Structure 1
Amino acid sequence: MKYLVTGAAGFIGFHVVQALSNQGHEIIGIDNLNDYYDPALKLARLAQLEPVAEFSFIKLDLADRDGMAALFEQQQFDIVIHLAAQAGVRYSIDNPLVYADSNLTGHLTVLEGCRQTKVKHLVYASSSSVYGLNTKTPFSCDDSVDHPISLYAATKKANELMSHTYSHLYDLPTSGLRFFTVYGPWGRPDMAPFKFTKKIIDGDAIDIYNNGNLSRDFTYIDDIVEGIVRVAEKVPSANKDWTPEAGTAKSSSAPYRLYNIGNGNPVQLLEFVQTIESATGITATKNMKPMQPGDVYKTWADTQDLFDAVGYQPKTALKEGIKHFVQWYRDFYQV
């Protein structure tokens, strides 16, 4: 099979390319290599992929309409795994227009490319951020997600709606994955596991928001990648029994599905910090701070639908995953 992986130099995309190449698939990866975080880390990931015979990289921005159309026309992909996006809840508060180009226009260029070249299946990244003001846990794809509290979350909800439109109008099979806090080797510097580890090792204080009264559904990268690859192989079909009145957002009369992909086991922020302290052998200095705009108090994934569909069941305990991450961090940065 021939795959397109967008965001191939990103954290999750890099690992997905590795997994697909191990299965013998041909992969084209694209990324614009922007400076949202240090491009050197993205280039280092790509350097790891250079020996992979099945992989080719093209530097391309999703918002480049002509470039994206030409890519799809020339390559004729079987399956698209669309992971590229402008990430970050807090960054979206200060830089909202960036999200329109990458997450809205960019998602539309992918949808158009899939439609025009009759791609067999589009798998795309949504986010647990779409649950916004929801307080009922665990979060389920049966729940309403009409009250986002960050622009980032709103763009991800928009991606789900846009995808459904294309599934309905053009019979394009689409599967959206709502990711819950992913961590592991080669992780993003803007996320808590990386930031906390760096500051603790460097001897700097870490900021603990809402006095630590937060919890996250931390999910190890290997578990996430296994779920993505399994979903890519599970092409959705129309649910003939679905109706708008009785149905839910996770399914449709179109070939469209939504899944949570997470660990299903929320961890208190202070417990998470203690796990990093144990892995590094260093006690952190903590600054207690108020809640940040756009943040949610708790994330917790109900992953039963994903288990039913593809047998997804995360295996990596937090202690083990953090140990692997800290070891990678020390090796990569030589600290």
Structure 2
Amino acid sequence: KGDIRDPAAVRAAITHFGDPVDHVVHLAAAHHDFGIDHDTYYDVNENGAKVITEAMDEAGTAEITFYSTVAIYGHAPEPVTEDSPKDFFNPYGGSKWAGEQVFMAWTDKGVNDAGKQRRCLTIRPTVTFGPNNFANMYSLIRQIHSGRYAQFGKATNIKSLSYVENIVDATLYLWEYEGRANYDPYNWIDKPDLTSAQIALTIMESLGKNGKPLTFPLWLGLLAGIPFDIVIKLTGKNLPISTARIKKLFTAQTKYEADKVLATGYTPKVPLKEGIDRMVKWYLEQGKDEQAVWHIPPAKVAGA
């Protein structure tokens, strides 16, 4: 364990097994909506990338896979592809894009001192879900399972999703793909896309629940969220209900394209609805009795 802003910790990780590793897989990030300030996002996601590249150069390691995010696109107009404008609207998206630029500049330096070409495969997933993941999909499954879920409005907004097993499988495939550039970004989205309403119905089916969710007008949900907004503003607490969360779930469309990775010949192994079903089964068998452990990065590296 360590902090990617700590050069000694990163160097130790790269040489943990004696000889330097051949390939670094970079998943560490400042990510959560609450509890992280603007500068910490950039310190972890941008400066951490610089620390990693410097440690890799010292060790002679020339290959890295970096998991970025579709949040770098922000409000970019559809269809959102790898070449779309980077119109991020929060420090998470902005800092991940800054991290990507670090890796772009690093690969542009060409061959390292060990005579190896620097290469970076970048994966940009959307909302990621699967067994052992306690983020957005877990919360939705828990709400529906407990009977505390209600739909506000028609919920016809598309929510692109990324199933974790397919992300890993696509990554392994791209490692061997001969047409990959030295710096090569790929969106990962499981297709076909589902609307918020379809996602909820798919979860209900996997849970064995019949019928449709209780549905109310959107305006009623937004009105009910106002008291929670006030509490959030006054206390800074991360509450599960707010007008922003209601809009995000039932009206905001987050639709992205994955044509580039599919054009390489890759075919995902797990269909999207099967992925949802696998997560629901994990939830029923194990996940509902577990508690998430969140790791919020400190503003400064310990001992710095």
TM-score, reference length from structure 1:
0.67
Instruction: Tell me the CA shift for residue 97 of structure 1.
Output: 3.8
Structure (1 or 2) with the larger CA radius of gyration: 2
Q: 1:206 to 1:118 in 2, by over 3 A?
A: farther
State how 1:320-335 maps to structure 2 within 5 Å: 320-333=274-287
Instruction: Tell me the CA shift for residue 284 of structure 1.
Output: 4.5
Task: Name the SS of the counterpart of 1:91 in structure 2.
Answer: coil
Partner of 1:183: 129
CA contact (8 A) 1:63 1:101 kept: yes
Find the partner of 2:262 among 307, 316, 325.
307
Find the partner of 1:217 among 149, 154, 160.
160
Instruction: Tell me the CA shift for residue 196 of structure 1.
Output: 0.9
Find the partner of 2:141 among 197, 220, 245.
197
Partner of 1:233: 176
Is it true that 1:161 corresponds to 2:106 in the alignment?
no
Once residues 233 and 98 of structure 1 are traced to their aligned partners in structure 2, the CA distance between those partners, rounded to angstroms, is 35
Partner of 1:102: 44
Find the partner of 1:274 among 181, 195, 201.
201
State how 1:11-160 maps to structure 2 within 5 Å: 59-73=1-15, 74-88=18-32, 90-91=33-34, 95-137=37-79, 139-145=80-86, 147-160=87-100
Letter in 1 for 2:84: D
Letter in 2 for 1:148: F
Instruction: Tell me the CA shift for residue 236 of structure 1.
Output: 7.1
Q: 1:294 to 1:69 in 2, by over 3 A?
A: farther
Once residues 76 and 260 of structure 1 are traced to their aligned partners in structure 2, the CA distance between those partners, rounded to angstroms, is 29
Once residues 334 and 237 of structure 1 are traced to their aligned partners in structure 2, the CA distance between those partners, rounded to angstroms, is 40
More strand by share: 1
Task: Name the SS of the counterpart of 1:215 in structure 2.
Answer: coil
Once residues 140 and 70 of structure 2 are traced to their aligned partners in structure 1, the CA distance between those partners, rounded to angstroms, is 21
CA contact (8 A) 2:69 2:124 kept: yes
Greater relative contact order (Cα 8 A, min sep 6): structure 1 or 2? 2
Letter in 2 for 1:190: A
Question: Equivalent pairs: percent with the same residue?
Answer: 21
Q: 1:308 to 1:114 in 2, by over 3 A?
A: farther
Once residues 266 and 133 of structure 1 are traced to their aligned partners in structure 2, the CA distance between those partners, rounded to angstroms, is 18
Aligned residues: 253
Letter in 1 for 2:132: W
TM-score, reference length from structure 2:
0.73
Once residues 140 and 60 of structure 1 are traced to their aligned partners in structure 2, the CA distance between those partners, rounded to angstroms, is 34
Instruction: Tell me the CA shift for residue 121 of structure 1.
Output: 1.4
